[in-house]
Structure 1
Amino acid sequence: MDIKIEKENGKSQRKRSLLYGFYLILIVVLVLVILFVGLWKASNQILFPVLIGISKDFKECNAEGEKNWGKNCGNLRISNQYHYREIMIPSINGYDLPGWIVATHENGISKKRGVVLFVHGGGADRREFSRFISFYLKQGFDTISFDLSCHGEAPCLFPGLTFGSREFRDVLSAYLFIEKQYKNIIMIGSSVGASSILISLPFLKSVKGLVLENPMIDFKSLIFDSPESSNLPNWMMQTLLEIVSIRGKFDYMLSPKNSLPFVNDIPILIIHSKEDSVVNYHHSEKLVKLYKGTVEFWFPDLGFHGKVWDSNQLEYETKVESFIHKNIK
């Protein structure tokens, strides 16, 4: 009798052990699924950033969008602020990039000193820089803005933003498009646009100066320096980094940090607000130290990401105008 009871107890214990094991496995699987879903959503936010109040098809523009980019969200087709022309820039990525050119002589400016090529930030498009056109026209510069791959009206053959890895080839294409037409070329970039210009730097032989706002030193540092990463383990951030690069099909080893050592003869002005929570201004501090050529920098206390001009317009324009005057006679 005792033997029978012991056998039954043994069977019950084994059943309980199997049941506990099953629940444990189920919990582990659920945790992994939740973790993967969270990382997948985070990678979506990184690869496909969305700006409030502005749509890629140029149709949406609300008060928040106008706050960011000015009248009509910078859409020259609607604002009627300038005479402009639509252009298509062939990219070595294999497709054409839509853009606008606003020429001095077509807008009542007799002097013509050169051209300013705008390169917008991640999740933005050519409209981002429309609020700067008047400033550069008055100094005698034609202005050209265009949409990077997967932004605005540009084609998107691969998934999303690549933080300069694919975009730098669009930047190089735009530079080659204007190189033979202008003696004096100034390039202006913000965020991903600024970083894409820096990655292109070894090829920008005829550029007289760069004005770069809130560039990153490299994509990995951007991810690990983000405020969200402070409470997450290193392995989770590394996993997110790999998911983004695999989904986006890009090489995050391409970076401003790796391009800067090849060039020392193009003057650079770096602007980065200490208030920037998207790309920490320490990225720009490191870039300033890395560059062996002529580099000026300004790190104001105010101005969110890409918003230094909005917070410090007079000082911003004074510094940029002085930089241009030094480098274009």
Structure 2
Amino acid sequence: MKQRNKIIAMILMMVTIIALFMLYNTGPNLDYVIPRRAIRLATILLVGISVAYSSLIFQTITNNKILTPAIMGYESVFILFQTVIVFIYGDKTFQVITHQDNFFYAVLLMMAFSFLMYVLIFGKSKQNIYHLLLLGLVLGALFQTFGQFLQIVIDPNEFSVIQGFMFVSFNKINTDLLLIAGVTLLGALLFGQRYLKYLDVIALGREHAVNLGLNYNKLVKIYMLLISLLVSVSTALVGPVTFLGILVTNLTYELFQTRKHRYMVWLCSGIACVALLLGQFLVEHIFNFSTTVSIVVNFVGGLYFMYLMLKTRKAI
């Protein structure tokens, strides 16, 4: 199938799934059902674009198709932050800190974490991106362990507040937070648009990028801050989706032959939105809310990840 036909087919599929998601089994109360589904649809689109955009950029700068920003510990930082504030304030957390303030604090913390790791690795020595990954992996495991320790010692009723951040849910969305996240995402996309062209060169490898005149370390810093901002938007809205990035980026590589990032980020975003819409549709109408989107997506993504590992092993 030609490239153009694949893109048209994906657009038609996305429009069909959106229509099905919005109109299937609506019943007589359209004034109640449609606005609620529209909020979930907007959230899914925001999360899909954030995850796809950040994962594609991350895989390009690491030159590895099976890594996602989750390995850097961003999600562990977010969960630890939520655990700490619940540990301090208990079940009155969101009476002291509003959801909007919580979102901004989480975004700033994750960006500060990204900047700190960059300074530790690139600030005083000419280390490569793999040292950054190793540091992120170790710190992520450390934060996750500390967060689990706090979750054990806090009151079980207070732990239920943290659980709301640990599993993806599109059913209870703060509309004010959705607007803030949308504006944040739009700003990140506009800022990142001017740097997409450099990713085509960085995909060739660090040595080639430097030889072609790019300031590699500076660009990596910009991309890491952009990734942390995008990850914080998706995680703060609905929670961590571990395997979605691996799934949608590799499907993009398989389906479309282009390697121009100004096209790939939108193709990947479209596939991510389709995957989330299908997952949410299954959760609502097939499983009757007996499971969550994260379980469905992580199950499919985990199987696909195993397929990629076996495929890579055979190629070696």
Greater strand fraction, Structure 1 or Structure 2? 1
TM-score relative to the length of structure 1: 0.30
TM-score relative to the length of structure 2: 0.31
Greater helix fraction, Structure 1 or Structure 2? 2
- Please tell me whether Structure 1 or Structure 2 has the larger radius of gyration of its CA atoms: 1
- Ranked by relative contact order (alpha carbons within 8 Å, sequence separation 6 or more), the top structure is 2
